[in-house]
Structures are given as structure tokens and as C-alpha cells.
Amino acid sequence: MKRRAATSVGAEGIGKTVLEYLAGRFTYHNREQWRERIAAGQVLHNGCPALSGAVLGRKDRLEYQIPCEAEPEVDGRFGILFEDDDLLAVNKPGNLPCHPAGRYFSHTLWALLKRTGSIENPIFINRIDRETSGVVLVAKNARVARGCRRQFETRRVVKHYLAIVEGRFPPDAIQADGWLAPDPASPVRKKKRFWQAAATRVNPPGGRLCRTRVQLYRHCNGLSLVAARPETGRCHQIRATLNSLGYPLVGDKLYGVDDTLFLRFIRGALSVTDRNRLRLPRQALHAAGLQVVHPVSGRLLQLEAPLPRDMQSLLTGCRRSSIGS
């Protein structure tokens, strides 16, 4: 599989040169880098090698043929939880992206599924982060995908996560209702913060409704295993909520004990001390269960993925607590 990115030129691009358009819209390369890629024949203009000074017209098509580069290593050992002619449920490991993005293309669950030949066009119904392990639901056709997504949109799907957090989580369940918004105190722009409705009556700027129920399972050695049931489906919802409640996720560079770890991580500058603070190379979050109605058969699917070994290793010697005790 070759990696390509294509776009049709809209009204904002008419009259601009190929170079001007690419440098202005796709800023992951600067102007000189785009000039080099055009000269190397990596950009097509209406199917032909592009010229930097060519003027664009309405509905012109540009295609960037992304050069093959070494991708980071991942864990490609996924398991099959359920499969029929319409749906596939996968137990994804904790170091495997679902979709191509950034440095990842061939080293993704999407690419692995296509290479197996079982699904020509995998359509992901639920999305979990690269470092989150557990249940991923994949539709094999658009009709089934629509049926599953309607259930997610109307909140008829039951989702169950397990997380290991720093500290001793309280014995009584917490119903965390509030808003998820950009964290104004963080040096990382994409970091979110959970604002609990009980503490603030005002929706913070950019805030979106967020609801999560969190329950203690067990604790020992300064850590707690908790179950989280998100009732809304916001990006980073569980990670941000736990962090804002005062129980940062083990192994999480962004929502863990110190968000400056994330800045050093993206520079490849994590120290031995940093890694020891994290305790785990990835965030200790696991999509343990998903309950959904099969849109074709009408069967209730209860999909479950056992806690992975890396998270189990943090709980060695811990006894399970009675819920609520």
C-alpha cells in the first residue's frame, strides 16, 4: 500500500500557484520543503507531475505521494473477540494506532486488517488512542457502520474501561458530571481539563458536556484500579476526568503525574527518572467491555477483553476490594 493524500481545490485556491496553495494550507511542510517535493515529482496536478508555478483552477485536484519512511515499532499482536460477515471485534494491544496518522501508516490496525485480506475497507466504529488497549469494533460495510454509529450517537452503547491511577481512590463511586474544555494552566495546547458541575455553575470557554461514572475495584502500593463508564463520548474524556479529580493515570505522559513529561516525550528526551515516574511505557487505560446490538441480526453483543499483562503486573500482590467498601 502506498500512502497518498489528495485534495480538490476549492474557491479559496483559485488563482493561486501550486506552491502557494500547498504551503498555505498544509503547514506540516514549509514552503521550501514543498518546493523540493514538487521538484521530486511527489505532487500530481490533475494526474500529472505538478509545477510549482502552475495556477490552480476550480475543481483542480492535487495529490501528494508521501514518501515511504521508517515508522515507529508497534505491537501488532491483536486478538479476535467476535467476527461474522458484517462485524469484527478486536482486542487491540496498547501500542498500536487504529488509523493512519502522523508517523504511522503501515504500522496501524487499519493496515494490518487490510493486509490479512479479511476486510477490504475497515470502518472503525469506536476509536481508542494508540496507547489504550482493548475492544475496537470494526464494520465491514457502510450499512452496518451506520447502524452501529446510530447506537453510539443515541448513547445506547454501554462502554466499560479499566484504569490504574495514582493514589487511593475513594470507596464510594463518583458520578463526574461537568464539562471538558481546554486546560488554560497547561503548557500543552491540546490538553483538556474536566470542570465538575458541582464546583462550577458556568460552562468554561469551549466546554462540552461530559459525564463519567468511576468506581474503585482495588488499591495497593499507592495505586488504584478503577472502572470507568463514560456516558458521553468526548476525546480524552476518561484521562482528563481522572486527572482533574486528582487521580492521574499511570503511564500517561499528558494526563499523568506531570504534563511536562509529554513535551519531553515528543522530543524523544524522556530520562530514566521520567520513565520511572511513569511506571509503565504507555497509559494504563483498557477498553474492557462494549455492549452493542448487532444491526443486522439484532443480537446483543457483549464484547469483553481481559486486562492485559502489563497492567496486571502493576497490581501484583493486590487483593480485590469489595466495591463500595
Whether the Cβ atoms of residue 46 and residue 52 lie closer than 8 Å to each other: no
The answer for residues whose C-beta is within 8 angstroms of residue 79's C-beta and 6 or more apart is 90, 91, 305
Angle ∠(218,230,220) on CA atoms, nearest 5: 15
Number of helices followed by number of strands (H, E) in the chain: 8, 15
DSSP run (H or E) holding 178: strand 174-182
d(Cα 318, Cα 325) in Å, to the nearest integer? 15
d(Cα 240, Cα 238) in Å, to the nearest integer? 6
Quick one: DSSP state of residue 1?
-
- The catalytically annotated residue of 129, 177, 258, 274 is 129
Whether the Cβ atoms of residue 39 and residue 18 lie closer than 8 Å to each other: no
Distance of CA 44 to the CA centre of its chain: 31
Q: For 36-102, give the secondary structure using H, E and C.
A: HHHHCCCEEECCEECCCCCECCCCCEEEEECCCCCCCCCCCCCEEEEECCCEEEEEECCCCCCCCEC
Whether the Cβ atoms of residue 68 and residue 25 lie closer than 8 Å to each other: no
86 annotated active-site: no
> Which residues are the active-site residues?
129
